[in-house]
Amino acid sequence: MTVSMTTALSEVQRMDADETPPRVLVFLLVAMLAMSGYVINEPAPTDLLFLPVALVALLTARSLSPVPIGPGALLGMVLFAACNLLSTLVAWELVHSLRFMVITFYLFGAAYCIAALVHRYGDAIVTPMFIGISIAALVTALIGILAHYHVLPNWQDYMRDASGIRIRSTFKDPNVFSPFLVSVVLWTFASGLERTPFGFARIVMATVYLIGILFSFSRGAYFNLGVTLIAFIALQVLVVRNPRVLKRLAVTIGLAAAIAVPSVVFVLAKSADVDYFVDRLSFQGYDSDRFGTHRYALTVAADHPFGIGAGEWKKPRFDRAMHNTYLRVLLETGWLGAVGFIMVFGSCLLTMLREVVARGKYAVNIAACLAVVVGILAESMVIDTLHWRHLFVFLGLGVGLAIRQSKLAESRPRFG
């Protein structure tokens, strides 16, 4: 009895006092995330740094020990992977299909790696991750804003097209650049609720991100931002209900209303793009074509129940972009592949939600990751998000924190 109690207490102390990760691992992880703001071609520079991160993690004290992700996610991943492999048998361009599939598998693997590291090291690895992704967001946002004002040399290279209105910065498209900033806005917002230092600095950072999102003129990103913020605030007010956090939430919202929002409105009002902004919020002529493509995709999926091959929805076989992640997965990997995909994300969302409801040590940050993933999954109805790196970063981060919190609760001794 005494021995088991002592063992339990030592386990709690080990997990409460975050283990220090190897310095080289922290450096590589920060570098990987700091490069995540540059994604134009695949593989991106951030992808090339993942291999040494995983290798160092494997070689240092079981950093990538098995993470209990749950039977739903495991079965879903097996089903999704099997259907991807099966669909390549009918792909028109086998090499392209295999390449696309490998990138998809790599991103799920990266999410698992991040979950394993967070599960093992807790805040000792989460804090460097925040630094790395904040560097990426600040750099790419500032590049985009400066390009918008034609301050940078070759500013046209950071714009969507020759019109020079919508910024894409160091991403391939504004519709990827701005949702990346949305995820970091929320994480910056959430981190300020747990720590009081540098509160004003976080407001300034968030303002820069919001201006970058504004000048992307991405309706999907605006929608994503709304869903993400509403989801996060609702989770804090209705589920977590931590009095200390709620007070800071009220103060943060007040500061945002007093500083960030007026700054963004002022910047827009002083620009020559007010009319364009209003026009972007209205129904666009190509929207009917987009929804027509969705209907056509369903008919093709009905004729190909096992899929047409990973990455096969592209020119010249199809002349229009899908703009819907779920339909793309359904069409390319088949009906069972879509079921597996939904099982993976559904299981991960439930894992995070369960630990938010538990209101443990990491509930605020888990809620932030959950809100980010929900926002991206909502936007996935109108854009292809399958290869968005930040989706898998926050998926792994949220699941890792959820499992760590669960294990911490299980390891606490029960008396009486």
- Given pLDDT bands bounded at 50, 70 and 90, which one contains residue 8? very low
Three-state DSSP at 198 gives coil
* Domain containing residue 152: 2-411
d(CA 102, CA 45): 16
Report whether pLDDT(318) > 60.
Answer: yes
Peptide bond into 66 cis (omega under 30): no
* 416 belongs to a structural domain: no
Looking up tokens 């929804």 gives: 291
Which pLDDT value is given to residue 17?
57
Which pLDDT value is given to residue 313?
86
Whole-angstrom distance between the N-terminal and C-terminal Cα of the chain?
12
* 99 belongs to a structural domain: yes
Q: How many domains does the chain have?
A: 1
Q: Phi/psi of residue 113, each to 5°?
A: -60, -45
Q: CB 415: neighbour CB atoms within 10 A? A: 5
Which pLDDT value is given to residue 199?
66
Report whether pLDDT(198) > 70.
Answer: no
Q: Phi/psi of residue 60, each to 5°?
A: -115, 95
Encode pLDDT of 55-97 as tens digits.
888 887 555 666 777 889 999 999 999 999 999 999 989 999 9
Which segment of 141-150, 170-179, 306-315 scores lowest on mean pLDDT? 306-315
Report whether pLDDT(258) > 90.
Answer: no
* 36 belongs to a structural domain: yes
Report whether pLDDT(322) > 70.
Answer: yes
Report whether pLDDT(36) > 80.
Answer: yes
Please state the rounded mean pLDDT for residues 142-170.
92
* 318 belongs to a structural domain: yes
d(CA 150, CA 153): 8
Which carries the bigger pLDDT value, residue 14 or residue 267?
267
* 300 belongs to a structural domain: yes
335-369: burial string, b at 16+ Cβ within 10 Å, e else = bbbbbbbbbbbebbbebbbebbebebbbbbbbbbb
Please state the rounded mean pLDDT for residues 238-243.
91
Please state the rounded mean pLDDT for residues 270-296.
81
